[in-house]
Amino acid sequence: MAGREARWLSFGARWTGRPDLTGPERNFIINKFLLFQAAGPQKEYRLSQENGFLALDVSKEVHQALTRMGITAPTRIQQETIPPMMAGRDIIGIAPTGTGKTIAFGIPMLEYISLKETRVQELVLAPTRELALQIVQELSDLAKFIPEIKVVALYGGQPMSRQITQLKRNPQIVVATPGRLLDMVARGHVRLDRVHTMVLDEADEMLKMGFVKDVTRIIELVPPSRQLVMFSATTNAEVMTISWKYQHEPIEITVEATRENRPQITQYTMIVEREEKTGALQYLLDSDEYERVMVFVNTKFMTQRVCDRLKKQGYRAEALHGDIRQSQRTRIMNDFKRGRFPILVSTDVAARGIDVDDVEAVINYDLPNEDEYYLHRIGRTGRARKHGVAFTMMTYQESVRMDEILRYMQTQPTPLHFDESKVLRREDGEAFFEHI
């Protein structure tokens, strides 16, 4: 671990939040880095996938963990994020779901942890409990061969006493939802005065959910010399305001959905009357043998209703939405990942944090309320270099709304339709499921 400690001392010490670390000292280090960058080619930030993670300055422990996880080549967001984040730069990254953002910020975080420090050094904020738990799992997997590193999740819906016990073990990394973190800070169970790296994951969603004041308050609780990294699927006014106010000369990294996103996903649209949606859903489920399918519905009420209808017809399905207890939600997510049931009916918010590589199909029972939600939804399939399929049901009245989504996506799905005998056909009249 000597190499890790040396790395932290030589390049990460400026982020410890020490009172003797002045603005001029911090600026000197940043300027030194900028001069170093200017002296060499810009490929420092854009690494070839052919070199894999060997081209990145990762420790042997992290590299061993990546190999164990079956990750050999960095994604584009990882290529462009890891070097500048390792260099201590603030970052605002715009990238779709499923592009490997957790690994992108997780590797630099692990590389600059001081194993001698007993206070929280790194903080990740997430909008939902599910996403927080997913991040903890991935960071824990990355730290598999660094047993001294401890990661704790703080979120509502779990007894506070259990999380307090975990905090007493002096974790270096805390992954939290904003409300629970502020509660823990107010009660004196967490101190943030030694945080040197702060990450806002799914920043657009978090701020859209009404956490602007909480996030702002948390940022102001950590030292001003900290590194602030934000990841978002889209940009909005709240995200850019946070960046402008709290980031220091951030590097902007954009991975466009149409370039990196889901070449492995085949998209279809279907005109279906509202009262016929459940029947059309069952038709899709019966027409192919999907081992894992995600069905997206806009409201909690309809999510449960659709799931109950499927169960009544003999389908093995579970619902996931905000009215379900946290313990039950965790069980449902774990069972879905393990293949104990094939159909998960979910709202957009509840699905945040679900990371399953082998979802074969996504069915949009309802059109999403936000353009970017469509991207989030279909991004659940076609992962790990596998092929996926996405079906979107809509009424004639909703076709205008679908056109808006397609302009945002810059894509054109294949239209399907039911004939008089209720057979799903392509535009040329060919029966769809006979040739897929």
Of residues 235 and 309, which shows the higher confidence score?
Answer: 309
Q: How far is CA 124 from CA 119, 176, 322, in A?
A: 15, 6, 22
* Region of residue 430 (left: phi > 0; alpha: psi -120 to 50; beta: else): beta
Got the DSSP string for 40-91? S-GGGSS--GGGGGGGS---HHHHHHHHHTT--S--HHHHHHHHHHHTT--E
pLDDT the model gives residue 327: 81
Residue among 281, 264, 283, 290 at smallest CA distance from 360: 290
Residue 385's pLDDT is what?
56
Mean pLDDT rounded to a whole number for the chain: 82
Bigger pLDDT: 290 or 168? 168
* Structural domains for the chain: 2-255 (3.40.50.300), 262-434 (3.40.50.300)
Q: Which of 176-190, 259-273, 365-379, 410-424 has the lowest mean pLDDT?
A: 259-273
pLDDT band at residue 30 under the 50/70/90 scheme: very low
- pLDDT band at residue 234 under the 50/70/90 scheme: confident
Does pLDDT of 51 surpass 70? Answer: no
**Residues 378, 350: contact at Cβ < 8 Å?**
no
How confident is the model at residue 173, as a pLDDT?
Answer: 97
pLDDT class of 434 with cuts at 50, 70, 90? low
When comparing pLDDT for 23 and 325, which is higher? 325
Residue 43 confidence (pLDDT): 36
Least confident piece of the model among 29-33, 83-87, 318-322, 364-368: 29-33
Instruction: Render pLDDT for 373-384 as a digit per residue (tens, 0 to 9).
Output: 888 888 888 765
Beta carbons of 350 and 329 less than 8 angstroms apart? yes
- pLDDT of 402 above 60: yes
Query: Which residues, in sequence order, are bridge partners of residue 173?
Result: 122, 151
**pLDDT recorded at residue 312:** 94
Candidate from 98-102, 264-268, 340-344 with smallest mean pLDDT? 98-102
Q: What's residue 269's pLDDT?
A: 93
| 44: confidence class by pLDDT, cuts 50, 70, 90 | very low
Q: What is the mean pLDDT of residues 362-385?
A: 82
pLDDT tens column, 311-346:
999 999 999 988 888 788 888 988 998 889 999 999
The sign of the dihedral angle between the CA atoms of 347, 348, 353, 359 is: positive
403 pLDDT band, cuts 50/70/90, is confident
CA-CA-CA-CA torsion for 156, 158, 161, 167, nearest 10 degrees? -70
Q: What is the pLDDT of residue 430?
A: 81
pTM of the entire structure? 0.65
The arithmetic mean of pLDDT across residues 39-62, rounded, is: 59
Confidence label for 407 from pLDDT (cuts 50, 70 and 90) = confident
- Average pLDDT of span 388-412: 86
> Closest Cα partner for 354 from 374, 372, 329?
329
Residue 197 pairs in a beta bridge with: 122, 227
Alpha helices in 265-394 (DSSP H): 277-287, 300-312, 326-337, 348-351, 371-378
Q: Report the sign of the C-alpha dihedral through residues 47, 53, 54, 58, in that order.
A: positive
Please check whether residue 350 is in contact with residue 321, taking contact to mean a CB–CB distance below 8 angstroms: yes
Q: Is the pLDDT of residue 296 over 80?
A: yes
The stretch 114-132 carries a mean pLDDT of 90
Residue 231's Cβ-side half-sphere holds a number of Cα atoms within 13 Å equal to 27
Mean pLDDT to the nearest integer, 174-180: 96
As beta bridge partners, residue 124 has 175, 199
Tell me what the mean pLDDT of segment 187-213 comes to.
92
- The Cα angle at residue 297 between residues 292 and 299, in degrees rounded to 5: 140
* pLDDT at 31 (0 to 100): 41
Radius of gyration of the chain from its Cα atoms, rounded to whole angstroms: 23
